[in-house]
């Protein structure tokens, strides 16, 4: 199995298990027949704060240089770094943003309609054990820029974030979160669960 795919399945499964355990504890407080109004369900879901559903493992090679003019601009000396960056980008849904107005319930038909916040990137983090400086060169006339490696690392995190979005991580996170929430809400007694999503900013 593809390592990235395996990681997605593991995280999605873990998130679902944790959410299920949480809702099992809250079930006695969220009775659709008794509640009739959304706040009890909203509170239960909002208390989860965040559902991180999908993770992508990404590698990037970052080449960054600092060109320094010398000898009255006749020569441009260079300080350069080549960074092999490895890290993880995690996406999910910020359930803490759910509002009372985002949920409506039809108690007679046990139908719940919920508008969820759009999936977003939770984190983009380098694996310090796997990330390494492949090469670092400083010309004779150049001064070593001690900030260069840090800038390369920051650039790597941003490029990993963009690469994950381009590869569809937000769509996967949304689909995974939707499956988890549908199952949990049905376990609370809502026979029909209708979910839609806010537009991504």
Per-residue pLDDT of the chain (201 residues; tens, 9 = 90+): 444 444 544 444 445 444 544 444 444 444 554 444 566 788 888 888 888 889 999 999 999 999 999 888 888 999 999 999 999 999 999 999 999 899 998 888 889 999 999 999 999 999 999 999 999 999 999 899 999 999 999 999 999 999 999 999 999 999 999 999 999 888 888 889 999 999 987
**Rg value, the chain, Cα:** 24
Q: How high is the pLDDT of residue 170?
A: 97
Q: How high is the pLDDT of residue 63?
A: 97
Q: How high is the pLDDT of residue 38?
A: 62
Q: How high is the pLDDT of residue 44?
A: 81
The domain of 165 spans 3-197
Tokens of 170: 């937000």
Domain count along the chain:
1
Residue indicated by tokens 């509170």: 43
Q: How high is the pLDDT of residue 3?
A: 47
Report pTM.
Answer: 0.76
**CA trace torsion 184, 33, 194, 122 (10° rounding):** -40
**Cβ atoms of 31 and 185 closer than 8 Å:** no
């Amino acid at each position: 199995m593809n390592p990235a795919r395996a990681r997605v399945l593991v995280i999605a499964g873990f998130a679902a298990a944790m959410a299920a355990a949480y809702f099992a504890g809250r079930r006695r407080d969220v009775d659709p027949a008794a509640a009739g109004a959304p706040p009890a369900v909203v509170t239960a879901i909002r208390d989860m704060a965040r559902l991180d559903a999908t993770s992508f493992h990404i590698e990037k090679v970052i080449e960054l240089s600092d060109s320094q003019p010398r000898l009255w601009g006749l020569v441009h000396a260079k300080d350069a770094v080549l960074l092999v960056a490895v890290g993880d980008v995690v996406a999910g849904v910020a359930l803490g943003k759910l509002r009372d107005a985002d949920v409506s319930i039809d108690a007679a038909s046990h139908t719940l309609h919920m508008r969820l916040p759009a999936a977003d990137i939770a984190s983009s983090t380098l694996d310090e054990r796997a990330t390494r400086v492949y090469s670092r060169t400083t010309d004779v006339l150049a001064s070593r820029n001690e900030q260069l490696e840090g800038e390369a690392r920051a650039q790597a995190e941003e490029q990993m974030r963009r690469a994950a979005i381009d590869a569809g991580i937000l769509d996967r996170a949304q689909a995974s979160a939707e499956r988890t929430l549908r199952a949990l809400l049905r376990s609370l007694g809502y026979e029909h669960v209708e979910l839609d999503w806010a537009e991504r900013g």
